[in-house]
Each structure stands twice: as structure tokens, then as C-alpha cells.
Amino acid sequence: METIFFRNADKTFLFPNKTVLKHFVELLFKKEKKPLVELTYVFCSDEYLLDINRNYLKHDYYTDIITFDLSENPKQTIGEIYVSLDRIKDNAKTLKTSLKDETLRVIFHGALHLCGYKDKSKTDISTMRMKEDYYLELYKAGK
């Protein structure tokens, strides 16, 4: 049974080897010892995600990702992750990284939020970046 879904809102996500990526995200949850039931990634524009940010989080700014933990049972992870393809593209340019790597980083970032990682304090951000780097390198190594 499929547990990870990629959906398009007002932008289309074209990523080769989506099946490999889905299996890798499942592996991430296993490595983090977090049982995954269902995870949906929704790819969208800045404006689409800004609307979600305003309406649900009362924030009036662009962001690359918003993660919703829909789990009712702590032993079962169910989540919905909204990803702005516009922000990823801009961030890749700003950070001087490839679009593919930045997209992967954001996809892993959302999954890590559902695994319990935060990114509000300097320590949390450092831990999150370390985990993102770890999974990005693991993915690129084909593990």
C-alpha cells in the first residue's frame, strides 16, 4: 500500500525517479523510528502557500514549506506538507545550490518536522541542518 503521495496544486512538480524518492522518505522515517501511515506532499506556488500561511498560521510572509501533522495517534504519523516551488527556485539561486538539491532538502525538511525536529532556536536549526545534510548525502549516495 502506498504511503507517500505527490500532488500538484497550482504548480507541477516534475522530478525524475519519484518512486525512488518516495522509498527514501519512507527510509528516513524508519531511521528516525517514526511510524509512517500516510504523507502527502502538495507542490504549489508562492501565492498558494502564502494564502495557507495567512489563513492557518496567521503569518504574512512567503515560506518554502509548511508542514501539518494530522496524526491523532503518536504511534502513527500522518502528515500533509505544502512546498512552494517558487521559493525553492529562489533559494537555490541565493544559496548557490542546484534546484534538485534544494528541492530534496525541503522535502526532507518537512519529513524531519514530522519526526519531531524543530527549527525555531539556533540549536534546533543547527540540528535540522545536520539532519538535512545527512539525508541529502545518503540519498545522493543511493543508500
Residues 6+ apart with CB under 8 A from 126: none
| For range 65-80, the mean pLDDT | 94
pTM above 0.85, yes or no: yes
| For range 59-70, the mean pLDDT | 95
Q: Compute the mean pLDDT over every residue in the chain, rounded to the nearest whole number.
A: 94
pLDDT of residue 97: 95
pLDDT of residue 142: 85
* pLDDT at residue 143 is higher than 70: no
Domain annotation for the chain: domains and CATH numbers: 4-140 (3.40.390.30)
Whether residue 39 contacts residue 111, with contact meaning beta carbons closer than 8 Å, is answered with yes
Residue 14 or 54, more confident: 54
- Positive or negative CA dihedral for 79, 68, 98, 8? positive
